[in-house]
Every structure is written in C-alpha cells, then in structure tokens.
Chain A
Amino acid sequence: MSKLTVEEAVAELDRVFAEEVEAAIRYLHLGSAVRGLDRLLVERVLKDGFQETIQHAEIIAQKIRSLGHVPKLEIHVSCPAEPMSAREALRQALLFEEAALECYQDLLRKVEGDVPLEEFVRSQIAIESEHVAQIKELLAG
C-alpha cells in the first residue's frame, strides 16, 4: 500500500503541477529570449518543450481531479529581460527539466504500492528522462 493518504498524494501532485506549469512559462520566455541566428537552432525545441510541459501539467491536473480534488497552484516566476544564446537557453531548460525529473523520482518512492499512481509516475519519469537526455545530447554537440 502507498504510504500516502489521498490528501498527501494530492499535495505531492500539486508540487509537480507547479513544476510543470512553471517550466512551461520558462520555455515560453526562453523561446522569446533567444535572438539572432541562434533562434533557428532552438526555436522548435523550445516550442515543443512548452507544448509538452503544458500537456504534462494538464495530465497532473486531471490526476488530481480524479482523486476528488482541485489542483492548487502557487508559483513565483521572474524571467529577466535579457537576450541569451541557444546554448544558454538549453542549459536553463536542462536545469528545470532535471528538477522536474527529480520531483517525479521522489514522488515514485512515496507512492510505492499504489499501483495506478505508481504506474502514472513511472510513465512520467520515462518521458522526462527522455526529454533530459535529448537536451543533454543537444548541449554535448
């Protein structure tokens, strides 16, 4: 059995929800912050990142609703009005993607035994891991 009560599980999912929504906002900003020829290199990656994180946030919200609750969102985002290179934008994306991945990994340890939730978190970890690997690959080049 999961060590978490429904309320505790929802609180944990709220945290992941905030990570995903904040990541989407950051992707949106990064997409505008990269200028010049560098835009050609990462515009698609950042737009896809935005779409995917928004989708993930929707999935989490749906999961919270299925547990009989309404998602709680509390975020504090500040993105400076400074231009950045494609590499810098990817480095930043890697930071918050890794943070989201760690959040899911922690959650997995906590929901052990609750099969539907465990499966859901596992699938999210697989998607996030792939995403992190893709950004790392782009940065390695």
Chain B
Amino acid sequence: MEIWKEFDQNVITHSAAHHLMAIDDLMRRYGYARVSDVARLLNITRGSVSISLKPMKDAGLVIQDENRHLRLSERGQALVDAIKTKRTLFQRLFHDLLGVDTEQAEIDACKLEHLVSDETARRLVSFLRFVDSDAQQTRSLLKAWRRFDPSCEHEPDKCPSCDTTCMAEHLSDAAATQPAATRSKR
C-alpha cells in the first residue's frame, strides 16, 4: 500500500484525538464531561461536538449515560493514554534533544502524537531510556550536538548525509513559504 493512504487507515483522526483528550481532561479536572464542556474546551459548537462524537460512540470509544454525561470506555482511555505518551515522547525528543523551542516542539508533537505507530513509539521510549541511563554520556552527546555547526554549503556530493540533492535546501525553501509564527526560532 502507498504510505500516504495509510493516513486513512489510522484508528482516529486528529480531531477525534482532541475530542477524546478533552473528555479525559474534563473527567480528571471535574469528574464529569458534557458535550457543552467539550465544546467550550475545544472552542467549537456543541453541534460540531455531537456530530464528531457519533462515530466515536459507535466505535465504543466514548460512552454517554442517561444524564448525557460522557466518559471514555476502557479502549478509549487506552487510546488517550497512548496518545499522551507519544506527545510526551515527541516533546522530549524535539525540545530536550534536538533543541526545538518549547512552543514549536509542542505544536509538532501535537501533530504527530496520533499518527505514529506504537512500534516506533516503543523504539523512542527505548532511545530515551538509553539517553537517560547515563547522565555523563548524554551530557557529552548533547555537548557535541550543540557544538555542531548546522550551517550547510548545499553541496550534496560533499555531504555525508545527502544523496543527490541537498535535504537542508529543500527544507529551507519549504520554511520560507510558512507563516513566520509557525517557524522554529532555533
């Protein structure tokens, strides 16, 4: 299967992930969640929440009781826990290791959290455990990484990472078309 088509095979959409996390957040904060609370938290209409929740209720991820209070099913809660874990992993990878600023790391982690496979996330957990296992080793790794000169001559034939085209050049072009507010300050 072509990889881009796998987006359609994903268990939940980005919007669904946020609805589930909103219910989880409200349950933790107030002990209950209603459609109106989810709408207010996500800053969307109640109608929109009701329509978005329908497939999640049909899929058994969200349960609505006779008082119209919402809660996550065991499977819904497991999905939320996995998404939250993946978000934390990406935030750590982007911010702590790569040095992306906090806000951008959070935005990018939010975009990826529900798309990445459990298998890749498990490898990321192992990698972070490796990094955290030896403080001295990590310090010297990060020191070397921060000392590394990120400037690029855009000469792929002399580059150890690029093949026939310069990866950095492509990304510079893409970054130039993004609104300034979405660019990393790094």
A interface, CB within 8 angstroms of B: 15, 18-19, 22-23, 26, 74-78, 92, 95-96, 98-100, 102-103, 106
What would 25 A/B residue contacts be, using CB atoms closer than 8 Å? A18-B45, A19-B45, A19-B46, A19-B47, A22-B47, A26-B47, A74-B43, A75-B44, A75-B45, A76-B44, A92-B51, A92-B54, A95-B50, A95-B51, A95-B54, A96-B46, A96-B47, A96-B48, A96-B50, A96-B51, A98-B50, A100-B47, A102-B36, A102-B46, A106-B36
Closest chain-A Cβ to B34's Cβ sits at a distance in Å of: 9
B interface, CB within 8 angstroms of A: 15, 35-36, 43-51, 54
Chain A contacts for B46, CB-based, 8 A: 19, 96, 99-100, 102-103
Chain A contacts for B50, CB-based, 8 A: 95-96, 98-99
Chain B contacts for A26, CB-based, 8 A: 47, 51
Q: Which has the most chain A C-beta neighbours within 10 Å: B15, B35, B47? A: B47
The 8 nearest A-B residue pairs measured at CB: A96-B47, A99-B46, A95-B50, A99-B47, A99-B50, A19-B45, A22-B45, A18-B45
Nearest residue, chain B, Cβ from A15? B45
Chain A contacts for B36, CB-based, 8 A: 102-103, 106
Closest chain-A Cβ to B158's Cβ sits at a distance in Å of: 47
Chain B contacts for A78, CB-based, 8 A: 15
Given A95-B50, A95-B51, A96-B50, CB of A102 within 8 Å of CB of B35: yes
Cα separation A65 to B44 with both chains bound (whole Å) = 22
Closest chain-A Cβ to B63's Cβ sits at a distance in Å of: 17
Nearest residue, chain A, Cβ from B51? A95
The listed residue (A74, A95, A106) touching B47 by CB distance below 8 A is A95
Cα separation A109 to B47 with both chains bound (whole Å) = 20
The listed residue (A76, A98, A106) touching B48 by CB distance below 8 A is A76
Nearest residue, chain B, Cβ from A22? B45
Cα separation A95 to B68 with both chains bound (whole Å) = 13
Nearest residue, chain B, Cβ from A95? B50
Nearest residue, chain B, Cβ from A92? B51
Cα separation A106 to B46 with both chains bound (whole Å) = 12
Nearest residue, chain A, Cβ from B68? A102
Chain B contacts for A75, CB-based, 8 A: 44-45, 48
Q: Which has the most chain A C-beta neighbours within 10 Å: B46, B51, B54? A: B46
Cα separation A41 to B185 with both chains bound (whole Å) = 57
Nearest residue, chain B, Cβ from A91? B54
Closest chain-B Cβ to A20's Cβ sits at a distance in Å of: 9
Nearest residue, chain B, Cβ from A18? B45
Closest chain-A Cβ to B53's Cβ sits at a distance in Å of: 9
